[in-house]
Amino acid sequence: MTTRAGMLIAAGALVAGTVTVLPASAAGTGEPVPRPHPPLARTDSGTKAYPKLQCGTLKVPLDHDDPAGRSITLALTRIPHTAKTFQGPLLVNPGGPGGSGRGMAGYVAASLPAEVAAQYDVIGFDPRGVGRSEPALDCRPGHFDPVRPDSVPRGARAERTALERAQAFAAACGKKHADVLPHIDTVSAARDLDLIRKALGAERINYLGYSYGTYLGAVYARLYPERVRRMALDSVVNPHGVWYEDNIAQDYAFDTRHKDLMAWVAKHDDAYGLGKDPAAVEAAWYRMREELRDAPAGGKVGPGELEDTFLPGGYYDGYWPKLASAFSAYVNEGDAAPLVAAYERYGEADSATDNGYSVYTAVQCRDAAWPKDWNVWRKDNWEVHAKAPFSTWNNAWYNAPCAFWPVEPLTPPDVTNDQLPPVLVLQATDDAATPYEGGLALHRMLHGSSLVVEEGGGNHGVTLAGNECLDEHLSTYLATGTVPRAEGGSEVDAVCAALPAPEPAPAPKPTAGKGSAKETGEETAEKAGKETRERVAAGDGTAAGTTLHGLLGHVR
């Protein structure tokens, strides 16, 4: 499941340029690396935030089974190592599918302990079809322009309208990108990773993947186990559910997280004035949703856009104060402006969203079979909606193009693996985007892996985000290869306590002109993520205020 807010992706420090990255010397030996093929060059493209950043490109086959055929281009970034001890390249991926990873190199290098980061060339990359990789997919620009029809279909006509919209997206993809769609899939992306490895002159790679990036890493490890040196997987996709069943599981989990938000609002009734009963607060939210069907806030926030706005709160509770303030202002003051501002910050689509969603559908629809009979979708989603109404139908329509996809699906690989060095798996127990069962499942499938759990945590992407306990496990692993081991036969090798819930933000003052989008309150870190993404799209390489949750391309 991937949020609409630019898929919360692509915040990072990049500048325009189409050059490539030079390899460094071999890990720990001081010997020169054998000249890679094709040869690479590099350019310095440092920014104020990441002055050592380098940018580049790499040509790879569109069809890996036809290496002499058409080639496509991947966009890469690198923060080079500076220590005498060099542990090789650390490839980093924020997820998606469809998430831009160029901004991850600078963020990860800056967030790890300096003595650890200095031992690696940290490599970010845009997977095939994404961002500045070429060709970049954009099937149907404006597909998420507001105001969309209510995501919950009320009658046959409404359902038919939504189906036609999904069919139109699938048809547009097939018409516009017919030549590349058969090659936009996880296995192809994993084979790209090995060409990046080869171009960097490394015998093995180190890898840090978040969200969908955990599945990409697991597939790479299945294809090339001998080429994995260290691999850390944070917020894990359940390989058993790729992809239809995983999305159903998310519907239940996101509904639970939405209830967590409603309970938090009730706990802070003194700040938000929506009542002390979580059920009553939730009922008020659904009344707000119903009102927006007839009168969208600011002419742009209807029920679907409201879901898009609050869905990021399921990924990261740092958004809760702003979301709660907007909710309170609408219900208690009749002021829609903060709600519109929240939508523009967290839920509004832009060109990066169009690209990310195009790649998301291309990968998920190609990776595995989806039901072709819409009656199956209808039955399943109404059953789930009855128990978990928050985002079930919103998510169904997000994935519905897969029912009409113009390319036949592949069979997902079995990522079970007993040929790897110890892999570090990190998972929050209450993660909605990649529920806990996925982390447990992959831990069982990767023999010898170590599972570190954030007990009671509900955020998605839990390392390098403020939890010192989790970060210590990651840093130790990257520095030494050491993983924690449980005693007494427990499947969980280490447990970290979750970070405390956020404190409420001051209630916004009513704005003049109901429905205006005037800014209220202080600037916050999560807004910086969106602003940075917009600067990147415009070619501005600054990255002040970049946060992990502004970088992650979350599985939708």
List residues with catalytic annotation. Answer: 211, 431, 460
Q: Token pair for residue 126?
A: 């845009």
Q: Token pair for residue 267?
A: 């706990």
CB 77 within 8 A of CB 106: yes
**Half-sphere exposure at residue 141, Cβ-oriented, CA atoms within 13 angstroms:** 4
- Phi, psi (rounded to 5 degrees) for 315: -85, -35
The strand ranges marked E within 161-262 are 205-210, 228-234
Residue among 221, 242, 239, 223 nearest 424 (CA): 221
Determine the residue type at 519. E
> Is the bond preceding 97 in cis, omega lying within 30 degrees of 0?
yes
Q: Give the integer Cα–Cα distance in Å for 89 and 206.
A: 6
Strands 121-126 and 71-79 come out as antiparallel
Q: Give the integer Cα–Cα distance in Å for 310 and 555.
A: 16
How far from the centroid of its chain's Cα atoms is residue 39's Cα?
32
Report the sign of the C-alpha dihedral through residues 178, 183, 189, 193, in that order.
negative
Strands 43-44 and 54-61 come out as antiparallel
How many helices and strands in the chain, by DSSP H and E? 19, 10
CA-based R_g, the chain, Å: 22
Q: Give the integer Cα–Cα distance in Å for 104 and 211.
A: 14
What 3-state class would DSSP assign to 93? strand
CB 546 within 8 A of CB 11: yes
Q: Token pair for residue 159?
A: 């359902």
* DSSP secondary structure code for residue 95 in this structure: B
Residue 159 pairs in a beta bridge with none
CB 274 within 8 A of CB 332: yes
Gap between the terminal Cα atoms of the chain: 1
- Phi, psi (rounded to 5 degrees) for 228: -100, 125
